[in-house]
Structure 1
Amino acid sequence: MHYLSAEGLTKSFGITPLFENISFHINEGDKIALIARNGVGKTTLLRILAGKETPDAGKLWIHKDVSVALFEQNPVFEEEKTILENILHLQHPTIQLVKQYEEAVQQQNTALLTSLISKMDDAGAWDFEHKVKEIIGKLNINISDQPVNTLSGGQRKRVALAKTLVDIGFEEKHTLLMMDEPTNHLDVEMIEWLEQYLNYEKITLLLVTHDRYFLEDVCDEIWELERSEMYTYKGDYANYMEKKAMRIESELASIDKAKNLYRKELEWMRKQPRARTTKSKARQDNFYAVAEKAGQKIVDSRLELDMKMSRLGGKIIEMKKVYKSFGELTILKGFDYTFSKGERIGIVGKNGAGKSTFLNILQGLEKADSGKINVGDTVVFGNYSQQGLTFKENVRVIEYVKSFAENFPLAKGGSLSAAQFLELFLFPPEKQFTFLESLSGGEKKRLQLLTILFSNPNFLILDEPTNDLDLPTLAVLENFLSEYPGCILIVSHDRYFMDKLVDHLFVFEGNGNIRDFPGNYTQYRLWQKQEEQKQKTAAEKQPRKFAEHKPAEKKKASFKEKREFEMLENEIASLETERSLLEEQLSADGTDYELLNKASKRIGEIAQELEEKEMRWLELSEIIE
């Protein structure tokens, strides 16, 4: 089924075109990644397709049976309403029934739950309720009476993602799902679950992401916006990189030819008399086309910067028996480590495990409860935090960089001016005179990184550096960091970025335990899965005689288990009644064959459900009685 077509779409801000005369099609089942440098118009294009902005020119056609869902970087909520009210916001009877059920569970209202169970049965709402619970659970969303306007930025993104997935999960029409950086503020386990979810569900997808493993696993086509044009690549990210390299090589050869022709044509133009014949006029027009081609620049994302780094002495940082807690939450429990020159350490762990607190303690921005932290005299920290840029209004990019220093010294002598340094980080001359408030989120992040490097640190601390950065900028950053001679500490959920740069990991396992793992993130995940499999195998081989010698202490039933037990009794009774009615229907004379067939099939399903529920009822009865 054909979902969407765009012909000749053009959009500009001021005199600068974001994209010009681009055309494309989306069919059912397509999973497409849209990539481009920050500020080129990725988000604007998604908003045009969603009907939230209009193009300057061109046509857009969307099939009448297709609905478009857009997950944006800055989600919009009904701010005073609760998390659950925002997630289950659609005014459909089934959704409202599920919302009532979830609220009753939250309030532990047994009487209301009992009445809602039969309504859920009648509406066939259990499958949808199960999907809602899976999404909320996997995104680690705490359903409470908390209004959305009290949530942190990361919590808001996860709630918005849950809202979008619930909406499309219920949508009966064909849906085109468009997602703008969905992996930001998700930990790695959430990202891996979202990958599986998008692959398992029958979803047509247009995705903007900087997460290359996510892109690789989910998408089978890549669109790239570059120099106002759209380039299409079938296949995965590796294929895109190969084909793009071939395209750039071909374009460079074409530009070289154009430059040679341009010189000849320029010489001819200068010799021409003022009066033009028709023939020479055609040649003159062609000259301008050749000149435009010869003047093209192909931006190379490689960055070679021989920076003059502050010298690191023999002593870098020693941490001895460091403890840190917030109430009952333990962050560090007797942590010991001595940092060495040139170390590249990745820091991983679930959100809230204390990674950012650890970085603050290391830099002396936050005090440990006890222990010693000895920082060498020559250590100069460069801290790329999640807080972003702080700046006054009406300041231009070049002015902001010059407020740190006019020049950037190089290791082999000489220096780069602020303007030259900006160009290396993909800020061309025309962009350097833009006001900071006009920059995109990714451009501000890129500028923040640049200003940190401008101070020549020898110990870089990067806290989620890849959030909001585009793929070309990530390539620049990775190439720079791969040659960086100082120490690097990286907190990131970008698995590709981590695999490329780190030598070993600090894994925050919770309760103050930090594992020093010798390898990158992918190697750690493989090791982790192997350990889980070993534990599972060991548990299966564990002899059961153990329980005969020492009976386990009887577990006390929780309120949730008691409620489940009561509900199971009602559900079992309801299923048995339904089975009796169907059996009567089967034995009646003159019943339609199709109805008989349906009744027979349903009796088989009921038998399976009853077996599962009765087994669970027996398990719970041993705890409760």
Structure 2
Amino acid sequence: MHYVTVEGLTKSYGVTPLFENISFHIEEGDKIALVALNGTGKSTLLKILCGKESADEGKVWIHKDVTVVMLEQAADFKPHKSVLENIFDHDHPILNAIKEYEHLTDNGAEPDATALTNAIAKMDELNAWHFDAKVKQILGKLNIHHLDQPVGTLSGGQQKRVALAKVLIDIGFEHKHTLLIMDEPTNHLDVSMIEWLENYLDQENVTLLLVTHDRYFLDSVCNEIMELDDNTLYIYKGDYENYLERKAAREESDKASTEKARNQYRKELEWMRKQPKARTTKSKSRQDAFYEVKERAAKRIEQQQLELNVKMTRLGGKILELKKVYKAYGNLTILKGFDYTFKKGERIGVVGRNGVGKSTFLNLLLGTEKADSGKINVGDTVVFGNYSQQGLVVKEDMRVIEFVKNIAENFPLADGTKVSAAQFLQLFLFTPEKQYTYISKLSGGEKRRLHLLSILFRNPNFLVLDEPTNDLDLPTLNILEEFLQNYQGCIIIVSHDRYFMDKLVDHLFVFEGDGEVRDFPGNYSQYREWEKDQEKIKAPEVVVEEKTKEPENKARKMSFKEKRELELLEKEIESLENEKKQLDAQLADGSLPYDQLESASRRIGEVMQLLDDKGMRWLELSEMAS
């Protein structure tokens, strides 16, 4: 089914064009990533597609049966209302029934018997139990609990997860044909959540257009990449590796074409200067062609040829030592007797689920927070560069070039030469025109890029990077990675970007909770493989452990919700088994048309997965009931 057609779309802000005369199509089942430099119109294009902004020129056609649902970077919530009320804010019978049932059973107290009976009857009447199970899965995987808490009291990361849950719930409850648009969906998610979201979007029959900086996520989820570059849209079918190969080939071709145009431009310029004032029709047509050649010849190819061999402050023998460091907030233990001595050139990644104290650990290193006990000794030669999640802080609005020159006029290189502030800005993709833009006019991603650049321009010898990839575009990430790979100082990184971590770190500090920190010798992907191996080794121990805990499970009384869930699971499993038998028979018959065969094959996979999941849950609840 054809979902979207975009023809001749143009959008500018003032005299600056974001994109000009772009066209593309979206078909059912497409999973497309939109790639571009920050400030070149990615978010604007997404908002045009969902009707929140209008284009200057061109047409957007969306099929009448298609519903467009968008996850924006900044969630639009009613802060005084609860998480539950914000998630289920549509006036839809199924959502209303689930909201009422969740409200009665989620607060921990024993619900009013009459109200609960009515809520269960309503759920039965609307056949809402399957969807309620899906809602529980989404909320659980995104670590969203305490549904009665006002959204205004949540952190920015928690609000982003609630917004994501709302979008995933919205696309599932009634819309058969949905275009899901997502702007940086992985921001504020820990790695386990990102991996779950990858699998969820891969399994769901959803048509997707997203902007993301997470290249593993992009590679796992998307089958097409659209790139906005120099006001033009380029479309690449396939994965991220294919995109890189074809983009490199295109840029090489563009470079050759530009060189040819420049040679032709010189010849045409010579001819133009020789012409008399009164020109024939023939010479007039050649004159028009001259301006086309001139435009091609002047085209700027984005190739960064400036390589920085950085001259930084020398690191002494003593860099940074932590001796028997303890840190806790109330019941949350962050460090429990942590010891470590940093060595020259170390590149350490810090990983762990949200809320275990990774950012607090960085603040201890920087001295902005104090340890409860123990010693943190910083060497006299250490110059920290701290890239925090707080973002860019500017006392007064000024132009980009002025802001950087206030730090320093030049950046020193190892060979004794210097790079000017303007050259350094251009390395990080701030064009000469953009350098004279006021900071207040930059996009959110451009401000993040400028903040990062300002940290690096101070020439520190110990970089502390807290989620440096959030809101950065892929071209900037590639440049940052190249810069850091050549960097001679120490680096410690907190990041959920697995691709970024794999390229840069030598080993990991894994925050496992309760103050335990594992020093793992390898990158993130190697750690995940090790973790999976450990789970396999420990599997028999888990069975024994569950048996020893059986009396404890027996002692706990099942809640109303769990009893009802057990009853419904038996019916759902029976229904799924019947559906599986029917699908097996259809596939064995061999007479199905291709589209129905494909649909049946996909559905039988979904049914088998549901049977596995519901079977495990049934066993768990059955043990509790017995």
Question: TM-score, normalization: structure 2?
Answer: 0.89
SS in 2 for 1:315: coil
SS in 2 for 1:387: coil
Q: Hey, what's the Cα distance between the residues in 1 that align with 2:523 and 2:571?
A: 53
Q: Which residue of 1 aligns with 2:237?
A: 234
**Percent same amino acid at aligned positions?**
64
> Structure 1 residues 412 and 144 mapped into 2: Cα distance closer, same or farther (>3 Å)?
same
SS in 1 for 2:517: strand
CA contact (8 A) 1:304 1:479 kept: no
* Deviation for aligned residue 1:363: 1.1
* Deviation for aligned residue 1:242: 0.2
1:249 pairs with 2:252: yes
Q: Hey, what's the Cα distance between the residues in 2 that align with 1:153 and 1:219?
A: 27
Q: Hey, what's the Cα distance between the residues in 2 that align with 1:12 and 1:505?
A: 44
Q: Which residue of 1 aligns with 2:346?
A: 343
Q: Which residue of 1 aligns with 2:513?
A: 510
* Deviation for aligned residue 1:538: 4.7
Letter aligned with residue 400 of structure 1: F
Q: Hey, what's the Cα distance between the residues in 2 that align with 1:410 and 1:555?
A: 66
Return 238-247 or 103-112, whichever deviates more: 103-112
Q: Which residue of 2 aligns with 1:53?
A: 53
Q: Which residue of 2 aligns with 1:619?
A: 623
1:260-318 alpha-carbon deviations (Å, 9 max, x no partner): 11111111111111111111111111111101100011112565212221100111111
CA contact (8 A) 2:83 2:148 kept: yes
CA contact (8 A) 2:570 2:618 kept: no
SS in 1 for 2:407: coil
1:134-174 alpha-carbon deviations (Å, 9 max, x no partner): 11111111233221122211111111101110000113341
Letter aligned with residue 286 of structure 2: R
Letter aligned with residue 530 of structure 1: D
Q: Which residue of 2 aligns with 1:190?
A: 193
SS in 2 for 1:307: coil
Aligned to 1:500, which of 499, 503, 518? 503
Q: Which residue of 2 aligns with 1:603?
A: none
Q: Which residue of 2 aligns with 1:31?
A: 31
Q: Hey, what's the Cα distance between the residues in 1 that align with 2:191 and 2:570?
A: 43
* Deviation for aligned residue 1:425: 1.1
Within 5 Å, give how 1:508-587 maps onto structure 2.
508-539=511-542, 554-555=552-553, 557-558=555-556, 561-564=558-561, 567=564
1:110-152 alpha-carbon deviations (Å, 9 max, x no partner): 3133432232122111111011111111111123322112221
CA contact (8 A) 2:351 2:509 kept: yes
What is the count of residue pairs matched by the alignment? 585
Q: Which residue of 2 aligns with 1:163?
A: 166
Q: Which residue of 2 aligns with 1:448?
A: 451
Q: Which residue of 2 aligns with 1:297?
A: 300
Within 5 Å, give how 1:383-532 maps onto structure 2.
383-532=386-535
CA contact (8 A) 1:303 1:476 kept: no
> Structure 1 residues 554 and 394 mapped into 2: Cα distance closer, same or farther (>3 Å)?
closer
Return 262-271 or 401-410, whichever deviates more: 401-410
Q: Which residue of 2 aligns with 1:106?
A: 106
Aligned to 1:329, which of 332, 348, 359? 332
1:381 pairs with 2:379: no
Aligned to 1:370, which of 357, 369, 373? 373
* Deviation for aligned residue 1:88: 1.1
> Structure 1 residues 609 and 207 mapped into 2: Cα distance closer, same or farther (>3 Å)?
closer
Q: Hey, what's the Cα distance between the residues in 1 that align with 2:231 and 2:614?
A: 61
Q: Which residue of 2 aligns with 1:88?
A: 88
Q: In angstroms, what is the RMSD of aligned CA positions?
A: 2.5
Letter aligned with residue 331 of structure 2: E
> Structure 1 residues 574 and 446 mapped into 2: Cα distance closer, same or farther (>3 Å)?
closer
Return 121-130 or 493-502, whichever deviates more: 121-130
Q: Which residue of 2 aligns with 1:584?
A: none
SS in 2 for 1:403: helix
SS in 2 for 1:372: strand
CA contact (8 A) 1:302 1:475 kept: no
1:12-40 alpha-carbon deviations (Å, 9 max, x no partner): 11111100001100000000000000000
* Deviation for aligned residue 1:246: 0.4
Q: Hey, what's the Cα distance between the residues in 1 that align with 2:349 and 2:478?
A: 18
SS in 2 for 1:54: coil
> Structure 1 residues 262 and 119 mapped into 2: Cα distance closer, same or farther (>3 Å)?
same
* Deviation for aligned residue 1:554: 4.7
1:128 pairs with 2:131: yes
> Structure 1 residues 303 and 158 mapped into 2: Cα distance closer, same or farther (>3 Å)?
farther
Within 5 Å, give how 1:5-24 maps onto structure 2.
5-24=5-24
Letter aligned with residue 60 of structure 2: L
1:328-360 alpha-carbon deviations (Å, 9 max, x no partner): 110000000010000000000011110000011
Q: Hey, what's the Cα distance between the residues in 1 that align with 2:621 and 2:244?
A: 56
Q: Which residue of 2 aligns with 1:590?
A: none
CA contact (8 A) 1:565 1:621 kept: no
Q: Hey, what's the Cα distance between the residues in 2 that align with 1:332 and 1:168?
A: 41
Please tell me whether Structure 1 or Structure 2 has the larger radius of gyration of its CA atoms: 1
Return 469-478 or 151-160, whichever deviates more: 151-160
1:280 pairs with 2:254: no
Q: Hey, what's the Cα distance between the residues in 2 that align with 1:356 and 1:5?
A: 44
Q: Hey, what's the Cα distance between the residues in 2 that align with 1:121 and 1:201?
A: 25
Q: Which residue of 1 aligns with 2:71?
A: 71
* Deviation for aligned residue 1:235: 0.3
SS in 2 for 1:413: coil
* Deviation for aligned residue 1:619: 3.2
CA contact (8 A) 1:301 1:473 kept: no
SS in 1 for 2:398: coil
SS in 1 for 2:339: strand
CA contact (8 A) 1:301 1:472 kept: no
Aligned to 2:207, which of 198, 204, 207? 204
Q: Hey, what's the Cα distance between the residues in 2 that align with 1:137 and 1:429?
A: 48
CA contact (8 A) 1:325 1:332 kept: yes
Q: Hey, what's the Cα distance between the residues in 1 that align with 2:613 and 2:312?
A: 68
Within 5 Å, give how 1:592-603 maps onto structure 2.
none
Aligned to 1:216, which of 219, 236, 258? 219
* Deviation for aligned residue 1:96: 0.5
> Structure 1 residues 308 and 99 mapped into 2: Cα distance closer, same or farther (>3 Å)?
same
1:149 pairs with 2:152: yes
* Deviation for aligned residue 1:620: 3.4
